[in-house]
């Protein structure tokens, strides 16, 4: 019998009353090698690993990459230059950028690397603007205007594209942001980066800030892009980024596996997965798993078992009712069905498979299927014996444990 269409098998509430499609030409900006490696438990990767990460990002169609913060010291300068050279020598499409404080001494190394390598490197000039930061630093608005204006003007006159990055934008006052944004635009910034630096924002805050910024830009009469940079302190990093793209940000930031300071940044891998499943992008994500695994090894950051798609448990089940449904779909010879019956993300789309295992919540169908997959000939009483042993445990059995049970039963 022919399988019904996807629309007839999966009712999609996600499409009901949806706010809007993404901004035209939405672009993705990776912060793994800058903000990501600022995480307190993250190891700074070797240059060989960084080059591999860069190459994988190019294959994924990630548009922009932050190569690092050259103002941090000689190693950062050397790594940024090596990465920029690889982009030039490889004829890559990915666009390089570097972070810098709004200080000419931070921007000058970016200018020098750009000139030596022969590629424009976008300057992401950042400055804290929230009242709590101003109070701690004893900064007033005049000082902020001078810091940002001088730095942006210097980078612009050196011929580099500039984005003005306001740290903690979501907790900054509009009467502070307005003169800072307009001054940045006047001095040559072509993009404004709105930052949820401490993961404070909710989707309502994202909407309010982006709409306010869009109105300000329209009033300026200039063509200025909007970046969204979110952190995950409230667990809303990915969700807020999706909202940001729908509310008008045309470039969104993230890191592989969401690594970064405190609990991390918005996870760029999850953002790409969601936009792919939403039908908003057609990027080839074949290498997404390899990218995340490479970052995991290079940064000494283990992937949690239950992490979406990348985690070891993402497509495993030992629960009887769930496994039975997957097994029935597999028995039909329908991989599409088996990949979706108990999964909101098709494993096959990312080079993975649904796995049926045996544990204390399993049924006989789990055991029968496990025996078949592992090419173990069943015999009278064996499935029941395996299930009985599994029921006496408080967890899922490893394959080696199941084989031990089978060997002992043979005796």
So what's the pLDDT on residue 176?
A: 97
**Cβ(138)–Cβ(178) below 8 Å:** no
Angstrom CA distances, 8 to 4, 19, 116, 149, 341, stand at 6, 24, 58, 57, 13
Least confident of 39-48, 239-248, 377-386: 377-386
**Which one has a higher pLDDT value, 185 or 363?**
185
So what's the pLDDT on residue 351?
A: 85
Residue among 39, 11, 111 nearest 71 (CA): 111
Residue 1 has pLDDT above 80, yes or no: no
So what's the pLDDT on residue 336?
A: 86
Residue 280 DSSP code:
S
Residue 387 has pLDDT above 80, yes or no: yes
Percent of the chain residues topping a pLDDT of 70: 98
Give residue 411's pLDDT band: very low, low, confident or very high (50, 70, 90): low
pLDDT digits (tens, 9 = 90+) for 274-284: 999 998 999 99
Type and span of the H or E element at 146: helix 141-157
**Rounded-to-integer distance, Cα 149 and Cα 380, Å:** 81
Tell me the mean pLDDT in the region 354-361. 89
Residue among 107, 92, 217 nearest 162 (CA): 107
**Rounded-to-integer distance, Cα 40 and Cα 261, Å:** 6
Torsion region of 333: left, alpha or beta (phi above 0 gives left; psi -120 to 50 gives alpha): left
Please, what's the largest Cα pairwise distance for the chain? Answer: 84
Residue 299 has pLDDT above 80, yes or no: yes
So what's the pLDDT on residue 19?
A: 65
Residue 78 has pLDDT above 90, yes or no: yes
Residue 251, C-beta contacts closer than 8 angstroms, at least 6 positions apart: 26, 27, 28, 29, 63, 64, 191, 225, 226, 227, 228
Residue 171 has pLDDT above 90, yes or no: yes
**Cβ(35)–Cβ(260) below 8 Å:** yes
Residue among 63, 65, 70, 68 nearest 26 (CA): 63
pLDDT digits (tens, 9 = 90+) for 221-258: 999 999 999 999 999 999 999 999 999 999 999 999 99
Q: Which pTM does this prediction carry?
A: 0.93
So what's the pLDDT on residue 379?
A: 87
Say how many Å lie between the first and final Cα of the chain, rounded: 45
So what's the pLDDT on residue 233?
A: 97
Domain 20-298 has CATH 3.20.20.70: yes
DSSP E strand boundaries for 16-78: 27-30, 64-66
So what's the pLDDT on residue 162?
A: 98
Q: Which two tokens stand for residue 18?
A: 């949806």
Q: Which part of the chain has CATH 3.20.20.70?
A: 20-298
């Amino acid at each position: 019998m022919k399988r019904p269409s996807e629309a007839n098998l999966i009712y999609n509430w996600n499409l009901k009353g949806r706010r809007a499609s993404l901004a035209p030409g939405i672009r993705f900006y990776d912060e793994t090698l800058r903000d990501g490696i600022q995480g307190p438990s993250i190891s700074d990767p070797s240059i060989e690993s960084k080059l591999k990460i860069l190459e994988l990002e190019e294959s994924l169609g990630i548009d922009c990459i932050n190569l690092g913060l050259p103002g941090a010291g000689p190693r950062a300068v050397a790594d940024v230059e090596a990465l920029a050279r690889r982009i030039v020598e490889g004829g890559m499409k990915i666009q390089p950028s570097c972070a810098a404080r709004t200080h000419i001494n931070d921007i000058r190394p970016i200018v020098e690397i750009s000139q030596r390598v022969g590629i424009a490197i976008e300057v992401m000039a950042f400055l804290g603007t929230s009242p709590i930061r101003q109070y701690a630093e004893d900064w007033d608005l005049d000082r902020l205007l001078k810091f940002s204006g001088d730095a942006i003007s210097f980078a612009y006159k050196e011929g580099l594209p500039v984005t003005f990055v306001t740290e903690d934008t979501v907790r900054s006052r509009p009467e502070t942001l307005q003169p800072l944004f307009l001054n940045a635009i006047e001095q040559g910034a072509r993009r404004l980066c709105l930052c949820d630096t401490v993961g404070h924002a909710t989707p309502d805050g994202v909407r309010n800030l982006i709409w306010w910024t869009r109105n300000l830009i329209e009033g300026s009469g200039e063509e200025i892009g909007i970046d969204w940079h979110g952190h995950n302190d409230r667990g809303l990093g990915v969700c807020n980024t999706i909202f940001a793209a729908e509310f008008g940000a045309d470039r969104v930031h993230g890191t592989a596996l969401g690594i970064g300071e405190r609990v991390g940044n918005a996870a760029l891998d999850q953002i790409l997965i969601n936009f792919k499943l939403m039908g908003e992008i057609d990027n080839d994500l074949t290498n997404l798993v390899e990218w995340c695994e490479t970052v995991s090894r290079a940064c000494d950051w283990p992937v949690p078992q239950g992490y979406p798609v990348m985690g070891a448990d993402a497509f495993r089940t030992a629960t009887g009712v769930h496994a039975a449904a997957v097994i029935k779909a597999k028995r039909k010879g329908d991989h599409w069905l088996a990949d979706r019956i108990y999964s909101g993300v098709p494993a096959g789309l990312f080079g993975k498979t649904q796995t049926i295992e045996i544990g204390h919540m399993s049924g006989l169908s789990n055991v029968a299927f496990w025996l078949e997959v592992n090419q173990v000939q069943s015999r009278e009483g064996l499935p029941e014996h395996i299930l009985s042993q599994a029921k006496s445990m408080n967890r899922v059995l490893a394959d080696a444990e199941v084989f031990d049970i089978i060997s002992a039963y043979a005796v």
